[in-house]
């Protein structure tokens, strides 16, 4: 985790999509719901393409099957907490297999 | 005025007969999108307000439906949560607002444009599963458009009398919605037996006919209908005679269905106390719930290919182990039979360099491929062995055509066991090893193979194809694919006899095992276990529980004397029709879409 201390905290983390079906509807809903709980601007990046982590359709259309590598970028007062929560969600494979 | 007794034919998609009035649903997707530019600030505010109200109405409706569905079908609630989120999604919702504000568009046209944009993004998604979610965006779009144009937003639920829905197409979410309403059944113009909507209708037990061309034009609102989800027939304005016929048929089917349902929990024992095991075939670990629901005595065939095909890289030992363990734990103490990888080198993973084969059915596949790619095979064997510490596991090798292949498979298993012991992983040292009988060579070698195996399992799909030299996918010869062909029956007899001599059990796990018409012959031939698509289990048990071993042996002896498959089919189907008229008529409706 790279942490840079500016006036706004900026946190970055690499995440992998590990569940079998990839980021389909349910995982995307979980990501968006989680992201919306934090006061931070949160983006998911895949090969240069970006999606707002609060935006369900943006996450879905990022097209992330199993094995996708994503970079999570958060900026804001609760950036660190948001990244922690989303990392846990990814690590739990969205409670799937 | 619709003429009386007009009969239309579609595809039967979900079994059952219902009688009621038609409610024809107009397709809001075809609402003419009026394009209008708005010029004044007032107009713009009015469009924004209209859109806000349409969204508010949609939210209210979806929340109410979600509430209703959550009572009865909690497993489908997420469909509505998803649509609720799409409704407020930035890409969709905010973009529409922006188009109204900045581009001076009317609400309908702005909505249409943002929908097209989202649809376009979805169309570029490679993963078919994720791409399919565009259906839900489409459902939300149609709902909003309906609200904007003032069409009845709650199309299905506001009925005080029982109705039959007639629509061009229905989304899975709309289908789910019907389960908690007074909808008796539905007819659609689109769809197939295996579409998501059809499968959902089966699981919700809503009778349905799909693929009925021009249904919305041929059937007028309020028409009296009989919908027969067993045959795919829809009768318009039925007369008294047809009504009586169908009411009787409906009654008979419902009685049959509840009797069959009761059989699922009972043991598969013949009237003269001969016990058989009826097991389930699985493809995904999740399906283990279905196996349990339909009363499986275990898993007779766990196909393990899916995870290899689904992902780009090879699955790890941990991933495989997790999958297997889940199934084993859920089935415990019932057995789980895991078939090792049954794939061909050509359609296997792209990073393994195998040229496409001219004749893949006769090529490098299944056990042959595994013995060539030992790294892949060892990983799978390790995962299977580790899962064996959590319940009753059996392993079987597909496409065996020589004794040497069994030796080599067992040797690998042995060496993997040593590795696991070193690593400190527990496993079942007595793990039963089965040989699949799928190649004619295995039938002729059966007495020798039986000495090397702990059990046999006949894979009929391949055995029939190889024995009769028939490719079922080839329309020219597909009708020559005949499970009761005397050559096939004789091969089964040889394998059963070899197993009996060696004192090992013999199972059957091909499609043939799940066909209720073949049950007497399979019992008569002496198979100990039958493994099938889980939904077929109750019907098969129902049949077994109504036969005696004596009569099926007698039937089988007669059949083995018959020289042609035509004679055998006539005899067997005739007997079944006579003995079990209701199973003969309705049985196939209850075995599901496999």
**Can you give the CATH number for the domain in which B169 is found?**
3.50.30.10
**Which residue of A27, A57, A63 is the best one to mutate when testing the B interface, meaning the one whose CB has the most B CBs within 10 A?**
A57
Pairing label, strands B17-24, A69-75: unpaired
B29 plus B148 within the same structural domain:
yes
The domain boundary, picked from B415, B431, B447, lies at B431
Which chain B positions have a beta carbon within 8 Å of A52's beta carbon?
Answer: 90
Asked whether residue B60 is assigned to any structural domain, the reply reads yes
Phi/psi-derived region of residue B295, left when phi > 0, alpha when psi is between -120 and 50, beta in every other case: left
CA B235/CA B250 separation, integer angstroms:
14
Counted domains in chain A: 1
Contact B129 A55 (CB under 8 A): no
Which chain B positions have a beta carbon within 8 Å of A55's beta carbon?
Answer: 89-91
Counted domains in chain B: 2
Contact between B338 and B302 (Cβ < 8 Å): yes
pLDDT band at A73 (very low <50, low <70, confident <90, very high): very high
Range of the structural domain that residue B208 is part of = 6-252
Range of the structural domain that residue A17 is part of = 2-95
Nearest by CB to residue A57, choosing from B137, B286, B326, is B137
What pLDDT is recorded for position B73? Answer: 67
Assess whether A6 carries a catalytic annotation: no
What pLDDT is recorded for position A91? Answer: 87
What pLDDT is recorded for position B311? Answer: 63
Map tokens 């059949």 to a residue.
B559
Nearest by CB to residue B311, choosing from A23, A58, A67, is A67
Per-residue pLDDT of chain B (594 residues; tens, 9 = 90+): 566 789 999 999 899 999 999 988 876 544 445 666 777 888 888 889 989 999 998 999 888 888 877 776 666 778 888 889 999 888 889 889 999 988 888 888 899 889 989 988 888 888 877 887 888 888 888 888 888 876 544 454 446 678 999 988 887 667 777 766 778 999 999 877 766 678 778 877 899 999 999 999 899 988 999 999 998 999 999 999 999 999 999 999 999 888 898 989 999 999 999 999 999 999 888 789 889 989 999 999 999 987 886 665 788 999 999 999 999 999 999 999 999 999 875 545 544 556 667 777 888 899 999 999 999 999 999 999 999 999 999 999 999 999 999 999 999 999 999 999 999 999 999 999 999 999 999 999 999 999 999 999 999 999 999 999 998 777 788 889 999 999 999 999 999 999 999 999 999 998 899 999 999 999 999 999 999 988 899 999 999 999 999 999 999 999 999 999 999 999 999 999 999 888 877 877 777 644
- Sheet arrangement for strand B208-210: B6-9, B233-236, B224-228, B17-24, B163-167, B183-188, B208-210, B11-14
DSSP calls for B378-424: HHHHHHHHHHGGGS-EEEEETT--SHHHHHHHHHHHHHHHHHHHHHT
CA B234 to chain centre: 25
Closest CA of chain A from B137, distance in Å: 9
* A29-48 mean pLDDT: 92
Taking alpha carbons only, the member of B451, B439, B446, B460 closest to residue B410 is B451
Task: State how far the alpha carbon of B329 is from the alpha carbons of B25, B47, B288, B325, in Å.
Answer: 46, 57, 10, 6
What pLDDT is recorded for position B157? Answer: 44
With a CB cutoff of 8 Å and minimum separation 6, the contacts of B313 are: A67
Residue B375 is encoded by which pair of tokens? 């790294």
What pLDDT is recorded for position A93? Answer: 86
- Mark out the alpha helices in B163-293 (DSSP H runs): 172-179, 196-204, 215-218, 240-263, 288-293
**By percentage, how much of chain A surpasses pLDDT 70?**
92
The domain boundary, picked from B431, B456, B475, lies at B431
pLDDT band at A32 (very low <50, low <70, confident <90, very high): very high
What pLDDT is recorded for position B80? Answer: 85
B346 plus B243 within the same structural domain:
no
Which has the higher per-residue pLDDT, A93 or B176? A93
Asked whether residue B277 is assigned to any structural domain, the reply reads no
B191 plus B307 within the same structural domain:
no
Residue B216 is encoded by which pair of tokens? 């919305």
Task: State how far the alpha carbon of B185 is from the alpha carbons of A10, B189, B559, in Å.
Answer: 55, 14, 42
The domain boundary, picked from B380, B412, B431, lies at B431
Closest CA of chain B from A22, distance in Å: 8
CA B143/CA B342 separation, integer angstroms:
45
Residue A70 is encoded by which pair of tokens? 């994503």
- Is B313's Cβ below 8 Å from some Cβ in A? yes
**Can you give the CATH number for the domain in which B339 is found?**
3.20.20.60
**Neighbouring-strand partners of residue B311:** none
CA dihedral B250, B252, B254, B259 (to 10 degrees): -170
Contact between B366 and B309 (Cβ < 8 Å): no
Pairing label, strands B11-14, B208-210: antiparallel
Contact B129 A66 (CB under 8 A): no
Taking alpha carbons only, the member of B211, B193, B189, B213 closest to residue B202 is B193
B205 plus B323 within the same structural domain:
no
Asked whether residue B275 is assigned to any structural domain, the reply reads no
**Neighbouring-strand partners of residue B272:** none
Which chain A positions have a beta carbon within 8 Å of B78's beta carbon?
Answer: 25-26, 29
Residues of B belonging to the active site: 196, 509
Scanning B78-97 for CB atoms below 8 A from A yields: 78, 81-82, 85-86, 89-92
B326 plus B236 within the same structural domain:
no
With a CB cutoff of 8 Å and minimum separation 6, the contacts of B417 are: B385, B427, B429
Q: Write B173-176 long-range contacts (CB < 8 A, 24+).
A: B173/B79, B173/B80, B173/B83, B173/B136, B173/B139, B174/B139, B175/B200, B175/B201, B175/B204, B175/B206, B176/B69, B176/B73, B176/B76, B176/B79, B176/B80, B176/B200, B176/B204
What pLDDT is recorded for position B466? Answer: 95
Please tell me which residue of chain A has the smallest CA distance to B130: A24
**Can you give the CATH number for the domain in which A85 is found?**
3.30.1340.10
Asked whether residue B518 is assigned to any structural domain, the reply reads no
B318 plus B245 within the same structural domain:
no
Buried b (16+ CB within 10 A) or exposed e, B117-145: ebeebbeebebeebbebbbbbbbbbbbbb
**Neighbouring-strand partners of residue B533:** B281
ipTM of the complex: 0.79
B314 plus B248 within the same structural domain:
no
Which chain A positions have a beta carbon within 8 Å of B126's beta carbon?
Answer: 63, 65
Asked whether residue B182 is assigned to any structural domain, the reply reads yes
**Which residue of B76, B89, B324, B327 is the best one to mutate when testing the A interface, meaning the one whose CB has the most A CBs within 10 A?**
B89
Please tell me which residue of chain B has the smallest CA distance to A66: B311
Contact A20 B311 (CB under 8 A): yes
Helix B172-179 vs helix B134-148: crossing angle, to nearest 10: 70
């Amino acid at each position: 985790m790279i942490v840079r201390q500016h006036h706004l905290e900026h946190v970055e983390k690499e995440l992998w999509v590990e569940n079998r079906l990839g980021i389909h509807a349910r995982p995307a809903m979980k990501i968006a719901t989680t992201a919306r709980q934090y006061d931070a601007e949160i983006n998911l990046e895949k090969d240069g393409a970006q999606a707002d982590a609060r935006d369900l359709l943006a996450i879905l259309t990022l097209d992330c099957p199993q094995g996708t590598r994503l970079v999570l970028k958060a900026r804001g007062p609760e950036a660190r907490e948001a990244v922690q929560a989303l990392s846990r969600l990814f690590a739990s494979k969205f409670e799937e297999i | 005025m619709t003429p009386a007794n007009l009969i239309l034919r579609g595809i039967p998609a979900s079994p059952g007969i219902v009688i009621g009035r038609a409610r024809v649903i107009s397709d809001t997707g075809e609402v003419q999108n009026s394009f209008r530019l708005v010029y004044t600030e007032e107009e713009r505010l009015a469009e924004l307000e209209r859109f806000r109200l349409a969204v508010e109405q949609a939210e209210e409706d979806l929340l109410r439906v979600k509430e209703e569905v959550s009572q009865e079908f909690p497993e489908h609630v997420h469909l509505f949560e998803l649509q609720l989120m799409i409704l407020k999604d930035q890409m969709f919702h905010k973009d529409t607002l922006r188009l109204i504000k900045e581009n001076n568009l009317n609400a309908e046209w702005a909505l249409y444009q943002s929908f097209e944009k989202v649809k376009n993004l979805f169309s570029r998604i490679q993963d078919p599963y994720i791409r399919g979610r565009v259906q839900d965006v489409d459902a939300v779009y149609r709902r909003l458009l309906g609200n904007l144009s003032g069409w009845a937003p709650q199309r299905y639920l506001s009925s005080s009398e029982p109705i039959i829905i007639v629509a061009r197409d229905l989304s899975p979410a709309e289908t789910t919605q019907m389960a908690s309403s007074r909808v008796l059944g539905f007819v659609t113009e689109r769809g197939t037996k295996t579409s998501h909507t059809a499968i959902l209708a089966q699981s919700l037990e809503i009778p349905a006919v799909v693929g009925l061309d021009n249904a919305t034009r041929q059937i007028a609102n309020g028409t009296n209908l009989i919908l027969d989800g067993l045959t795919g027939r829809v009768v318009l304005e039925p007369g008294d005679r047809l009504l009586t016929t169908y009411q009787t048929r409906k009654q008979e089917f419902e009685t049959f269905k509840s009797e069959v349902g009761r059989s699922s929990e009972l043991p598969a024992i013949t009237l003269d106390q001969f016990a058989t095991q009826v097991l389930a075939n699985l493809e995904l670990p999740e399906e283990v719930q279905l196996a349990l629901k339909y009363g499986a005595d275990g898993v007779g065939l766990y196909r393990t290919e899916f995870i290899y095909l689904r992902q780009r890289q090879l699955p790890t030992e941990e991933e495989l182990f997790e999958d297997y363990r889940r199934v084993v734990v859920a089935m415990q103490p019932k057995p789980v039979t895991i078939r090792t990888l049954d794939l061909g080198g050509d359609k296997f993973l792209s990073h393994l360099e195998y040229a496409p084969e001219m004749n893949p059915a006769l090529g490098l596949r299944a056990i042959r491929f595994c013995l060539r790619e030992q790294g892949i095979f060892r990983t799978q064997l390790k995962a299977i062995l580790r899962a064996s510490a959590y319940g009753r596991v059996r392993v079987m090798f597909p496409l065996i055509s020589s004794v040497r292949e069994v030796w080599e498979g067992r040797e690998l298993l042995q060496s993997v066991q040593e590795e696991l012991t070193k690593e400190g992983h527990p496993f079942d040292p007595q793990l039963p090893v089965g040989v699949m009988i799928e190649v004619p060579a295995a039938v002729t070698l059966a007495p020798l193979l039986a000495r090397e195996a702990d059990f046999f399992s006949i894979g009929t799909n391949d055995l029939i194809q190889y024995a009769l030299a028939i490719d079922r996918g080839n329309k020219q010869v597909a009708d020559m694919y005949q499970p009761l062909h005397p050559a096939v029956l004789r091969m089964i007899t040889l394998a059963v006899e070899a197993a009996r001599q060696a004192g090992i059990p013999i199972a059957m796990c091909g499609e043939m095992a799940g066909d209720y018409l073949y049950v007497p012959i399979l019992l008569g031939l002496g198979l100990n276990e039958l493994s099938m698509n889980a939904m077929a289990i109750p019907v098969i048990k129902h049949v077994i529980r109504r036969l005696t071993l004596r009569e099926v042996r007698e039937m089988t002896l007669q059949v083995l004397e018959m020289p042609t498959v035509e004679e055998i089919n006539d005899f067997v189907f005739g007997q079944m029709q006579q003995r079990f008229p209701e199973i003969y008529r309705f049985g196939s409706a209850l075995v599901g879409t496999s």
